[in-house]
Amino acid sequence: MIALLDNTVLSNFALVKQLSLLIQVFGKHLATTPYVVQEYENGVRRGRVPSISFDWIAVLPLTHDETTQMTYLQQQVDAGEASCLAVALGRQGIVLSDDRNARRLAGQIGVSMSGTLGVLVRLIKTGVLSLEEANRFLGQMIAYGYRSPVEALEQLIK
């Protein structure tokens, strides 16, 4: 299943210099859209996120039908979120986003979602990170401005 990376999750992992963790979780199934790349690069120009190369991730062009769907979805979310949702809908994927509106919309259209916390929990459960390491990265993300609903991942580990 394809995992569409939105700018919110991308930025969180880029800020703590841990993009490789995304690859460890999703491998060749990880992708994004040109609209997310554009949003990220706008953040670089504004000094909000570090400059990165996108040669490590598939940047998927949208099909005609996905572009049409994206246009409709943009009435409720930004281009990056709309493009990820449209591709996930058309290709039966999952969207990785922390955007509240995108998550709500995904529920309405039947697209699976995860976010920064879900990725960190998955990294713990697969043994890639210890709970302590994941909590350290979460703390760094929060320090950079991530508005996490939890301060520690113990609350989410079952």
CATH number of residue 17's parent domain = 3.40.50.1010
Instruction: Kindly state whether residue 153 falls inside one of the protein's structural domains.
Output: no
Domain that holds residue 11: 3-115
Q: What is the pLDDT of residues 76-135, one digit of tens each?
A: 999 999 999 999 999 999 999 999 999 999 999 999 999 999 999 999 999 999 999 999
pLDDT(2) > 80? yes
For residue 35, the model assigns a pLDDT of 99
Torsions phi, psi for 94 (to 5 deg): -120, 145
Establish if 22 belongs to a structural domain: yes
Q: How far apart are CA 102 and CA 92, in angstroms?
A: 16
Closest CA to 119 of 102, 84, 95: 95
pLDDT of residue 158 exceeding 80:
no
Report how many helices (DSSP H) and strands (DSSP E) the chain contains, helices first. Answer: 8, 5
Whether the per-residue pLDDT at 156 is higher than 80: the answer is: yes
Number of domains in the chain: 1
- The pLDDT of residue 155 is 86
The token pair at 88 is: 């996930």
**Residues 14-59: tens digit of each pLDDT:** 999 999 999 999 999 999 999 999 999 999 999 999 999 999 999 9
pLDDT at 72 over 80: yes
Closest by Cα among 66, 95, 81 to 2: 95
